[in-house]
Amino acid sequence: MVRPPVAVSTLAPPVSAPVAAGERVAVLDGIRGVAVLGILLINIDALSGYAFTPASAHTILRDETADAITWFLLATLVEAKFYSLFSFLFGVGFAVFVQRAAARGADPAGLFKRRLIGLLLIGLVHTLLIWFGDILVTYALLGFVLVPFLRRSDRAVLRWAAAMLAAPIALYALLFAVAGQPAQPAAGGTEELPAVLASAAQSFAHGTYWQILAGNVIFTVANIVRRLLLMFFPRVVGMFLLGFYAGRNNLFSRLDEHRRLATNTFVAGLAIGLPLSVVAWGLGDHAVGPPTMAGLIDTVIKSIAVPLQALGYAAGLWLLFSRAPRVMKPLVPVGRMALSNYLMHSVAGVVIFYGIGFGLFGRVSLTPAVLGALGFFIVQIFLSRWWLQRAQFGPAEWLWRVFTYRRLIPLFKTP
């Protein structure tokens, strides 16, 4: 059955306003808070400079065994899974946004496009002026793909989601068939950065702010190329669409009706997704470079494991929120101001690690860097709660809403 297009009321003038705190679905904010933590944990190796420096430079609390265990845990439990989870939540948020915009008599598609433009501007400021490891620009640009699906049926949405998630396998198989190379043994040691990237990384450690800006541009371009090679973009769109389907059908507001679905998804994420992630870690990273059979196997495994594990996390947290809401409750404020907290990671990282700050870039070993990230996240839990007791939105969320609705919205609560 094809869903009808979102209707816009003509009985009253359009009312454009942000979602009020009372209208929010708390479980989604709780899951979003966990996703914020996951993104911080996987970003910390690049933000701290650990990813760009040889082991000999990691002089602060260096423990190679601990770092090996930490990286195994990050690679199997966190890497790619939380960006996928955030992509899924982005799709859910799109559905919620357009439903509530339509209910207020506004133009959902037009308002959402303006919202994406605002996110794009924030992302450009982030990646060029603060830290290059931005995901907001990608989300903003790919978010426009969602708009045509407002008038498509649930079946069409799911078919396109499956096609997007399977696209990396098909594309890599085609490349392998056309220009495949024999599998090469994995090279030992740390892979060296290209000279231009190594020079840019040095500017983060020792350069002026203007040199850091140039390094941000270089690494931003490199990130785009790497994400193209890893076929990252269709996977993001696939998760967007799955989230849109879940949000349009209000799944997170109807757990009693969908508890079996949530339970089965959680079990599949652990029983299938997690073991496949362990296998992928054991095989090594072969997806970048000339197409090989090993790269094809890597692509197939990750195309199954990553979305399945991300959905398993979402389902598990959904179930946890229903059974033990007190456990998830502290994470809700973090999720309500997820954009502000995400940007805060970068600002704090630049201050702590870059040469213009405390100059720890590349000196801190992975394990203490991750533990420090966990400690910083705990601070964010308390800071988010404190802020939202006084304000309606996070500061970045407030600026985003002002741009979207083209009017000044009160930030702080009235006494």
Contact assessment for residue 80 and residue 236, using Cβ atoms and an 8 Å cutoff: no
Across the range 387-408, mean pLDDT stands at: 95
Whether 7 shows a pLDDT value over 60: the answer reads no
Find, among 402, 400, 415, 363, the residue nearest to 123 by Cα.
Answer: 400
Nearest to 240 by CA among 45, 79, 97: 97
Mean pLDDT of 126-137: 97
pLDDT at 206 over 90: yes
pLDDT greater than 90 at residue 8: no
pLDDT value, residue 183:
54
Q: What is the 3-state secondary structure (H, E, C) of the chain?
A: CCCCCCCCCCCCCCCCCCCCHHHCCHHHHHHHHHHHHHHHHHHHHHHCCHHHCCHHHCCECCCHHHHHHHHHHHHHHHCCHHHHHHHHHHHHHHHHHHHHHHHCCCCHHHHHHHHHHHHHHHHHHHHHHHCCCCCHHHHHHHHHHHHHHHHCCHHHHHHHHHHHHHHHHHHHHHHHHHHCECCCCCCCCCCCCCHHHHHHHHHHHHCCHHHHHHHHHHHHHHHHHHHHHCCHHHHHHHHHHHHHHHHHCCHHHCHHHHHHHHHHHHHHHHHHHHHHHHHHHHHCCCCCCCCEHHHHHHHHHHHHHHHHHHHHHHHHHHHHHHHCHHHHHHHHHHHHCHHHHHHHHHHHHHHHHCCCCCCCCCCECHHHHHHHHHHHHHHHHHHHHHHHCCECCCHHHHHHHHHHHCCCCCCECCC
pLDDT band at 371 (very low <50, low <70, confident <90, very high): very high
- Domain map (residue ranges) of the chain: 22-178+191-405
Beta bridge partners of 412: 391
What share of the chain has pLDDT > 70, as a percent?
Answer: 90
Q: At what angle do helices 154-179 and 293-323 cross, to 10 degrees?
A: 150
The confidence band for 184, taking pLDDT boundaries of 50, 70 and 90, is low
Percent pLDDT > 90 in the chain is: 73
Is the confidence at residue 141, as pLDDT, over 50? yes
Mean pLDDT, range 177-186, rounded to an integer: 63
Q: How far is CA 218 from the centre of its chain?
A: 21
CA–CA separation, 316 vs 101, rounded Å? 29
| pLDDT tier for residue 233 given thresholds of 50, 70 and 90 | very high
* pLDDT confidence of residue 190: 43
* pLDDT for 25: 79
Type of residue found at 307: P
Task: Place 4 in a pLDDT band, splitting at 50, 70 and 90.
Answer: very low
